Amino acid sequence: MKSSGPSAGGTFQPLRHRSGTMRDRLHGYTKRTLGAGGSVTEAVRLPPGESCAGWVAVHAIDFYNDVSTIWAVMSTDPYLNSFRPGDGFPSGVEYRWSEGTGKNTTTVSVSAPVYIEKVLQWVADQINDESKFPDDDDEENALRVFQTPQFAALCGQIFRRLFRVYGIIYSSFFGTLEALGMAPHLNTAFKHFMFFCTEFGLLPEREIEPLEVLVKPIRKQYYMSKQPSASK
């Protein structure tokens, strides 16, 4: 399961789940649920008998693929070169890029398009690292890794950064995607992402606050869908 991440030429090779693996099985569950007309609420619910950690791992990959596919449509637009460091972020925030760990951490101001490219490459690097996302031919060994605090922290960071990418896209590039006919796909992908994050508590409130206007209606749909009287 290898991907080089998004390239400067706008091409994108999705991270795939190999046939017969746990990740393929869980990915197939979501695909079948949505393909059969099931609700997004049903699609994000943990399947009976499956590992929650494995379910989150699979969706980290699938949501990376969703965001990368959307961004690939935009990534070759010359307009992106007009953004300066600090430009293009949601109102009132600037997402700075951090690299390294501990005392070696460096934080730099970048433009929103550069931030997106860095996030997508970083996520691809994490998923392609088999010490972090092990090959699940050996399902028992993969689950041991997926159930560690280190993996939970990594997935939390992946989901937070993907959320920020969505925030940038809606803030600065929605009009362009709408003109390209991509708005329905973007809205569907973001709704699925937010339902999943809400189901499993993956986003801290402080992260959501700058995008509350965007997120609030989706969360309202999610909570209404969980009511006993909601249509199936």
pTM of the model: 0.88
The residue among 151 and 137 whose pLDDT is bigger is: 151
Q: Which residues of 202-229 are buried (b: 16+ CB within 10 A; e: fewer)?
A: bbeeebbebbeebbeebeebbeebeeee
- Pairwise CA distance, residues 119 & 15, whole Å: 15
Cα angle 28, 29, 31; round to 5: 60
pLDDT in tens, 161-199: 999 999 999 999 999 999 999 999 999 999 999 999 999
Tell me the mean pLDDT in the region 195-217.
95
Summary mean pLDDT of the chain: 87
Q: Which amino acid is at 59?
A: H
Lowest-pLDDT range of 30-39, 50-59, 138-147, 151-160: 30-39
Tell me the mean pLDDT in the region 93-118.
91
Is a pLDDT exceeding 50 seen at residue 232? Answer: no
Is a pLDDT exceeding 50 seen at residue 124? Answer: yes
Strand partners, 97: 108
pLDDT in tens, 11-30: 556 677 666 666 667 667 67
- Pairwise CA distance, residues 171 & 166, whole Å: 8
